[in-house]
Amino acid sequence: MTGENRNPYNEAYGVHSSAAAPSAPAPGAAAAQVPPAQAAAPAGGSQAASFTQPFSDGAPAQPAYAAPAPAAAAPAKAKSGKGWIVGIVITISIMLVCIVSVVSCTSTVNSVMNPFSSLSTAKPQTSVYSPSVAIIDIDGTIQYDGTPNSPEGLKDLLDEASDDPDIEAVVLRVNSPGGVATAGEEMAAYVAAFDKPIVVSSASSNHSAAYMISSQADYIFVDKTTSIGSIGVIMQVTDLSGLYEKLGISVDSITSADSKDAGSLARPLTEEERAWYQDMVDQINEVFVQTVSEGRDMSESEVQKLANGMPFTGMDAVENGLADEIGLLDDAVAYASELADYSYALPTVHLSNYSSDLLDLLDMLGAYESDDKAAAALRGILGRSGETGALE
């Protein structure tokens, strides 16, 4: 009976039924009988692989749920004494994170409280406690917008400089393509009437109305590559009547006089209307020439020869008398200091006035047409010269 119950597979692998208590195989039995069993197992099948792999190295595989053998205890490391350095680094890192968080929160709150703050063109006002030269930037189109590019804006800053006993002179930093003729005329008058030395430092462009303003300063500096001058007047009238006809659009103008709708886009100018506007342009140009002549101490005929509407380089402007010297902003500051009787260049302070472009635009868009000031400013933004011409 004992011989009949023997199982060759169990004897070969040491496997017994789950009910029987496990017994250790005889020494050498497993090693002697494994190769035949492996040779007898079917090759290439997944079942064969699952059975043969645990014994590929000749030792029984350990069950997955068996506790691993305890590893030898590692020798204790000696303390390096640098723990306090790590602590300091961690503390500083946490503090930096907190600071960044506070700054971010502050920026977010400011953005929520003032969503248009990033559009502001304001510059921080600098207190003047010693003799200084004030710098005023005229940067952009000359028009009526309340900035230093406008009569009211420039006058406010010139008045501030005049009233401050510590401001000894002013430098106008000009970078402008020109603009509204009347605004340029008024600003030129304010510069001419200023009671302290005033010097112009020209940047990349100093054209037309901007040059009319500059011509009233005591001295004009230019870079060699500055584009300056462009003395002349332009008035543009657009006729879209041909396009209207193709689109089937008709415009009926009910006017108190035949020429009241001249330049209204719906019809071309008559010869009489064109001559009328040409006379206006000639008169405005004459005022331009006279202003430059007085400011630059040149004869009107000399200025008229240069009033061809074209700009000059800074080098040519020095040669023909429209500018005085090649020099940078620092040179203009040094010369303004000299005119104020100082033998050294005075420190500078920037004068500006607060302006938010988006808020100003919203105000102008909400203004009635009867508000001439707002309407003129809006026309300036939209590039319309109106009926007074533009110095461009």
Residues annotated as catalytic (active site), given as ranges: 208, 260
For the chain, the farthest-separated pair of C-alpha atoms sits apart, in whole angstroms, at 143
DSSP character string of 131-153: -EEEEEEEES-BSSSSSTTSHHH
Answer left, alpha or beta for residue 344, where phi above 0 means left and psi between -120 and 50 means alpha: beta
Token representation of residue 220: 């004009």
175 CA to centre of own chain: 18
**Using an 8 Å Cβ cutoff, are 178 and 209 in contact?**
yes
Cβ–Cβ under 8 Å, residues 166 and 193:
no
Q: Which residues contact 346 (CB under 8 A, 6 or more apart)?
A: 131, 132, 133, 168, 169, 333, 336, 337, 340
| CA-to-CA separations, 383 to 235, 236, 282, in angstroms, rounded | 11, 11, 21
* CA separation for the pair 232, 217 (Å, rounded): 19
Query: Is the separation of the CB atoms in 321 and 293 below 8 Å?
Result: no
* CB 190 within 8 Å of CB 160: no
